[in-house]
């Protein structure tokens, strides 16, 4: 075993020793290339002496006293030219006399090199030793600093014998995803049950989903439930500077796995090594592609990999090579999507186990307020809240810390030290009030949950608007148009009630234009008809998309621009109409923001209902809030449309009519 290991190490290291020799040889070549040395015979040298052409001379006697070595220069030589020759002892006297007569101060008699061999070795070999040491250190760094620093081809996969401590109970939500991978656990525990019926278990499972949704955690849970050896590695660990190293690591990983079968191999971020082949702008056959080819061969080649199941994770399935996704390799793809409200509540409960909360903290309400949050986002939110509680010297975590943590995660920390003029403060208040009123009065708009003019990140303020009901992926045309109207509400409010337009709506325009263009080119929601003319991708894959051209003419491009303009103009007019009708509410919200800087949903509802910004005492206000919330709940259960925009009196009237 050790012999094979040493042979493998020697095989892998051999190219690098060759490289070292080439480098050393190159250095010596350039060191001597600049000097030209002429070899003179004894006769030619003595002729030069007779002609008095020797201008520099150095004599080095041999220890045997039978030969003398001479170096020097002749007339006509440049500074980089010299000669060398050798003479017998009988000629030394003549040459010495010549040197004396010509006042050759550079004439010297060196000692025998053999008498100072140690110094000679040190002077000549020291640069080589230093270069070799530096090269060894560099190789060691590139090899990860392990003991086998020259063994690049060894797999970097880490082995967990018991699969780790993670179990399915530690993975909140992901009910369907757990069911998809449960077969793998059953197979690893009882493979004969599947073999009896001729069933073939998937060789590979690809976990696909946005970052932070729990793909890696799910893979660890599979290994923990199966209680089998668990190899885990990142896709980037295969990629190396030197050609052939990645493929060698793939072979070594599968070799180790076969010895531990049945087992699991988990490759995280497989897109680092599994990208489509031939997409490089500078040529296709690179180190990464060789690694991918080896991975494809090992997964479904001539060799048998019985008892080895591969789980991979990626958030970029669009860039993976099709050969990697075919049946026989990654047979099954499991989409790990963002959690819904119920799953977010479960995730929050998992991460809240080791934290101390106030009685007013309601995780169910928090889950409703965090649509679009991943599991990692929720964990970070509670951690930020805990850090804020510690910073404030509190013994537990209250809703104040959770609200602040939510804002920090979404928009960044508050810029409380930033000085804001009254003019700017009022401008931001008018802008955000415009957004809020659209949300309050437009039927299909999102609910307004919070308004603040406290600067966060690059924003001077923001209005938190959340959907009334959480949807998976489907939106109606009216809902999209309502979003665009809401985005334009800030600019319209500035124009109507400030008398001047500002740069504060630039991000709103960006989002609105993107939605409008998607309606025209992707969703078929325009006069151009049900056609998909473009496909907007957040992640551009240059190698794949470089050669693509648009599939429509310049005339169609002009029509697209006209339709986008038409949608924006109509939504702008709609926002203007709503805000003109509700001027009093815009001014009330503006004054409230000037006074309080931040308004909660309950405070906003109070202003809408009572047309007053002077809130009652905390107790009475809570009573009013509870009454309004209860009425809205009853209206929702009764199926009353537009209940979220109604005040208390309107809700009572609608419920009475419904009960008749």
Cα–Cα dist 133/327, whole Å: 49
- Catalytic residue numbers, as ranges: 432
Structure-token pair, residue 321: 């090579």
Strand (E) or helix (H) holding 487: helix 477-497
Other CB atoms within 10 Å distance of the CB of residue 372: 13
Question: Distances from the Cα of 387 to the Cαs of 382, 394, 409, 614, in angstroms?
Answer: 9, 10, 13, 33
Q: Tell me if 489 sits within 8 A of 435, measured CB to CB.
A: yes
Query: What are the residues whose beta carbons fall under 8 Å from the beta carbon of 643, sequence distance 6 or more?
Result: 632, 635, 636, 651, 654
pLDDT value at residue 450: 86
> What does the chain come to in residues?
660
pLDDT value at residue 76: 81
Q: Tell me if 515 sits within 8 A of 476, measured CB to CB.
A: no
pLDDT value at residue 394: 85
Written in H, E and C, the secondary structure of 78-113 is CCCEEEEEEECHHHHHHHHHHHHHCCCCCCCECCCH
What are the pLDDT digits (tens) for 476-497?
A: 889 899 999 999 999 999 999 8
Low-confidence ranges of the chain (pLDDT < 70): 1-35, 61-66, 104-126, 134-164, 240-244, 278-287, 301-306, 416-418, 471-473, 535-550, 616-630, 643-649, 659-660
pLDDT value at residue 164: 63
Query: What are the residues whose beta carbons fall under 8 Å from the beta carbon of 397, sequence distance 6 or more?
Result: 355, 356, 357, 358, 361, 382, 385, 386, 389
Smallest CA-to-CA distance from 206 within 319, 284, 101 is with 319
pLDDT value at residue 244: 65
pLDDT value at residue 283: 46
Cα–Cα dist 219/266, whole Å: 7
pLDDT value at residue 579: 92
Structure-token pair, residue 163: 């699969």
Burial code (b: 16+ CB inside 10 Å, e: under 16) for 151-180 equals bbbbbebeebeebbebebeebbbbeebbeb
Phi, psi of 65 (to 5 degrees): 60, 20
């Amino acid at each position: 075993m050790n012999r094979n290991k040493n042979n493998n190490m020697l095989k892998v290291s051999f190219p690098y020793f060759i490289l070292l020799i080439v480098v050393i040889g190159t250095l010596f070549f350039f060191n001597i290339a600049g000097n030209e040395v002429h070899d003179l015979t004894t006769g030619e040298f003595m002729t030069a002496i007779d002609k008095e052409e020797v201008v520099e001379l150095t004599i080095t006697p041999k220890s045997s006293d039978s030969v003398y070595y001479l170096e020097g220069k002749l007339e006509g030589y440049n500074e980089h030219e010299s000669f060398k020759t050798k003479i017998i002892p009988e000629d030394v006297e003549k040459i010495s006399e010549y040197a004396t007569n010509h006042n050759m101060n550079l004439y010297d008699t060196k000692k025998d090199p053999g008498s100072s061999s140690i110094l000679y070795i040190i002077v000549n070999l020291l640069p080589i030793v230093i270069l070799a040491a530096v090269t060894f250190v560099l190789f060691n760094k590139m090899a990860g600093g392990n003991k086998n620093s020259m063994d690049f081809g060894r797999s970097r996969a880490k082995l967990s014998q018991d699969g780790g401590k993670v179990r399915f109970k530690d993975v909140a939500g992901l009910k369907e995803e757990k069911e998809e991978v449960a077969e793998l656990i059953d197979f690893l525990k009882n493979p004969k049950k599947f073999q009896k019926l001729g069933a073939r278990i998937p060789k590979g499972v690809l976990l696909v989903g946005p970052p932070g949704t729990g793909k890696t955690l799910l893979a660890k849970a599979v290994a923990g439930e199966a209680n089998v050896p668990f190899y885990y590695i990142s896709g980037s660990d295969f990629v190396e500077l030197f050609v052939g190293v990645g493929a060698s690591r793939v072979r070594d990983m599968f070799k180790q796995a076969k010895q531990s079968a049945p087992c699991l191999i988990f490759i995280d971020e497989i897109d680092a090594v599994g990208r489509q082949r031939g997409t490089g702008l500078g040529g296709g056959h690179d180190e990464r592609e060789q690694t991918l080819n080896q991975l494809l061969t090992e997964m479904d080649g001539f060799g048998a990999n019985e008892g080895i199941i591969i789980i991979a994770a990626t958030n970029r399935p669009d860039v993976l090579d099709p050969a990697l996704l075919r049946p026989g390799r990654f047979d099954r793809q499991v989409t790990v999507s963002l959690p819904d409200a119920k799953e977010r509540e479960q995730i929050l409960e998992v991460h809240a186990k080791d934290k101390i909360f106030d009685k007013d903290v309601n995780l169910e309400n928090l889950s409703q307020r965090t649509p679009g949050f991943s599991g990692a986002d929720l964990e970070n939110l509670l951690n930020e809240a805990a850090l804020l509680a510690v910073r404030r010297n509190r013994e537990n975590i209250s809703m104040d810390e959770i609200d602040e943590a939510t804002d920090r995660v979404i928009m960044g920390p508050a810029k409380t030290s930033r000085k804001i003029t009254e003019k700017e403060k009022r401008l931001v208040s008018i802008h955000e009030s415009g957004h809020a009123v659209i949300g309050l009065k437009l039927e299909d708009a999102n609910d307004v949950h919070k308004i603040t003019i406290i600067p966060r990140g690059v924003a001077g303020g923001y209005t938190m608007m959340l959907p009334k009901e959480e949807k998976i992926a489907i939106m109606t045309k009216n809902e999209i148009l309502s979003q665009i109207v809401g985005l334009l509400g800030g600019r319209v409010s500035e124009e109507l009630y400030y008398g001047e337009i500002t740069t504060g709506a630039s991000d709103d325009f960006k989002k609105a234009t993107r939605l409008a263009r998607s309606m025209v080119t992707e969703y078929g929601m325009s006069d151009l008809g049900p056609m998909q003319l473009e496909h907007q991708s957040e992640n551009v894959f240059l190698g794949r998309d470089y050669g693509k051209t648009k599939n429509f003419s310049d005339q169609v491009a002009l029509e697209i621009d006209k339709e986008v303009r038409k949608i924006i103009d109509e939504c702008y007019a709609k926002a203007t109409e709503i805000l003109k009708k509700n001027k009093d509410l815009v001014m009330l919200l503006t004054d409230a923001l000037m006074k309080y800087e931040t308004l909660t949903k309950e405070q906003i509802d109070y202003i809408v209902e009572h047309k007053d910004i002077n809130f009652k005492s905390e107790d009475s206000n809570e009573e009013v809030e509870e009454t309004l919330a209860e009425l809205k709940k009853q209206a929702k259960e009764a199926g009353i449309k537009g209940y979220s925009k109604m005040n208390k009196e309107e809700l009572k009237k609608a419920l009475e009519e419904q009960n008749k």
